[in-house]
Amino acid sequence: MPPAIAPIRPCTDADFDAMYAVINAAATAYAGVIPADRYHVPYMAVDDLRDEIAGGVRFWGWHDPEGLSGVMGIQDVDDVTLIRHAYVTPERQGVGIGDRLLAHLLSLPHQPLLVGTWADAVWAVRFYERHGFRLVTPEEKDRLLRRYWSIPERQVDTSVVLRLIEGDILSIGNQREHFSAAGLSQARNAQGTVISGSSRHSRPPPAPAVSTRCSAT
């Protein structure tokens, strides 16, 4: 019998079309929730996704036997690491895929971790809070968005930033053990939805760090 293929593995060029499909299917959850002038179809265009990859976002995917079901990116920008573009396809939401992807990314080497999302995407905020992230103050949020993302002021006003509190890393590890023991079918995402997606353009950091442009955080 051939060895089992791990469900979480890096996305490759061969996964590009599936990644595009997962992101835009999941992002329909934003319709009627985020500001109307910030929502568009497709939510992430093909060229934007290519630019994200070229700019240094490293995508990991959850690969079911039927195909790619979830994606989540990680990116080093200057002196921080950003969690980027976390999406689970609608028919596979609510079974813990987002939890497992995030737990995997948190196990990778990283700098201080930040994530940005829409203020009105309350399910995303709750998801990250469950994994040890905490909202920064409005003043700090504005400073971080302007330093690490390049977005319109309106988007600064309608977004939030969460920071991983490293002291909570033990609870994250305990969750990961729980998922392994209990099985994926019993794990639940917070509201089982799109995980994050705020800032449309991520700020290019000073050379030699990689630059980035994005259509969602």
Would you say residue 202 lies in a domain?
no
Would you say residue 197 lies in a domain?
no
- Count of domains for the chain: 1
- Higher pLDDT residue, 217 or 116? 116
Question: Closest Cα to residue 173, out of 99, 110, 113, 109?
Answer: 99
Q: What is the pTM of this model?
A: 0.78
By DSSP bridging, strand 58-64 and strand 133-135 are unpaired
Mean of per-residue pLDDT scores for the chain = 81
Residue 206, pLDDT above cutoff 50 = no
Would you say residue 54 lies in a domain?
yes
Would you say residue 180 lies in a domain?
yes
How does pLDDT run across 141-187, given as a tens digit for each residue?
999 999 987 678 998 999 999 999 875 544 444 444 443 333 343 33
Would you say residue 105 lies in a domain?
yes
How does pLDDT run across 38-51, given as a tens digit for each residue?
999 999 999 999 99
- Higher pLDDT residue, 165 or 114? 114
- Enclosing domain of residue 104: 8-186
Q: Are the CB atoms for 68 and 22 separated by under 8 Å?
A: yes
- Higher pLDDT residue, 210 or 2? 2
Residue-level pLDDT at 213: 29
* Token representation of residue 81: 């690491």
Q: What is the CATH number of the domain that holds 173?
A: 3.40.630.30
Residue-level pLDDT at 167: 59
Would you say residue 64 lies in a domain?
yes
Alpha-carbon gap, residue 62 to 82, rounded angstroms: 19
